[in-house]
Amino acid sequence: MSGSKIIGVVAGSSSDAIIDNLHNRGFKVAAVFGPGDHYGLDLPEYKLVEDLSNYKGVIDFFSSLSIDYVIIATGHVLAISLIPKLEGEGILTNLSYEKCKLLKDKAKFKKNLRKFGYLTPNFTLISSKQEALSIRNKVKLPIVVKSNLDATQPVKVHNLLDFDKAVESVLITNTQVLIEEYIDGNDCTVAVVTSGDIVKSLGVTYYSKAKEYKLAGFDGAYSEKMPKDIEDELCHLSEKLVMDFSIPSLIRVDFIIKEERFYILEVNSVIITGYNGSAYPFFKRKGFDVADIMVSACPYLY
């Protein structure tokens, strides 16, 4: 591969599968890892171990190798924040900064979902303990407490004491708190890939984030197979959503289904591709190599 084009990768511990896939396609790789990353460090031809907050160091690393394309395969806020800085230096990426920002802001995205006619659980956004106290005795338990910007994992709370604790754990991250209606239903997800003008779902996958991540309070979360006509409708809805919002690359739409009503919980702008993550082996068992799909969907790669 002495004359191979060098592709940049920002994926941290999820870099390994992406790097292997790029090597299989004949590319060399320059990858950026964080100080705490453990997987894939020995795989790329060029590597930088650096905190992603050091934007200049990352950009200088890629520029020194004349890299003009970087695959970002992590939804970490610092990785997403790199996108406009890289593009400002003429380095293209596989993601849209504006779309990533929209999807990351849960309340803003949920409002936009409703404008397009999609269902999503009811929610309230609060910014302080005082606001939490003002709604404390009005919330319908159980309820879900989230960080609006994903600074913490969601928690399902069953009493007011746990509600107070969950709100406090989000507020200390300096992010707003999303108080979301709990829907007792069937979890599933639909992966959708955009390649040029083609938008295609990869089918319904019976995956429950609450169950896989053992999220606090979500005992009893389940994901059970549904009839084909329901699956087809979910796939069509997911493709329509991606087209409505013009979201690039490989994304994941998380649903909860109750009484044949399809509630969108969230949309992830990145599916984590590392061998040691939960998503890669899960989708691999279903017949999908998400690293290969993500790389195949990258515009301007060749």
- What integer pLDDT is reported at residue 148 of this predicted model? 97
Query: Is 253 domain-assigned?
Result: yes
Statement to judge: residues 177 and 188 lie in one domain = no
Query: Cis omega before residue 35 (within 30°)?
Result: no
- For 255-288, how does the pLDDT look when each residue is reduced to its tens digit (9 = 90+)? 999 999 999 999 999 988 889 877 788 888 888 8
Statement to judge: residues 245 and 259 lie in one domain = yes
* Strand segments (E) across 41-122: 46-49, 69-72, 92-93
- What integer pLDDT is reported at residue 3 of this predicted model? 64
Q: Is the pLDDT of residue 2 over 60?
A: no
- For 161-212, how does the pLDDT look when each residue is reduced to its tens digit (9 = 90+)? 999 999 999 999 999 999 999 999 999 999 999 988 899 999 999 989 899 8
Query: Is 238 domain-assigned?
Result: yes
Range of the domain at 208: 101-119+183-269
Query: Is 290 domain-assigned?
Result: no
Statement to judge: residues 187 and 169 lie in one domain = no
Statement to judge: residues 191 and 113 lie in one domain = yes
**Which H helix or E strand runs over 180?**
strand 177-181
User: Looking at residue 162, which CATH number applies to its domain?
Assistant: 3.30.1490
Task: Please report, rounded to a whole number, the percentage of residues in the chain having pLDDT higher than 90.
Answer: 84
What number of residues does the chain have? 302
- What integer pLDDT is reported at residue 21 of this predicted model? 96
Statement to judge: residues 105 and 220 lie in one domain = yes
Of 86, 92, 93, 32, the residue nearest 59 (C-alpha): 86
- What integer pLDDT is reported at residue 1 of this predicted model? 58
39/241: higher pLDDT: 241
Query: Is 43 domain-assigned?
Result: yes
Mean pLDDT estimate for the chain: 94
Statement to judge: residues 30 and 128 lie in one domain = no
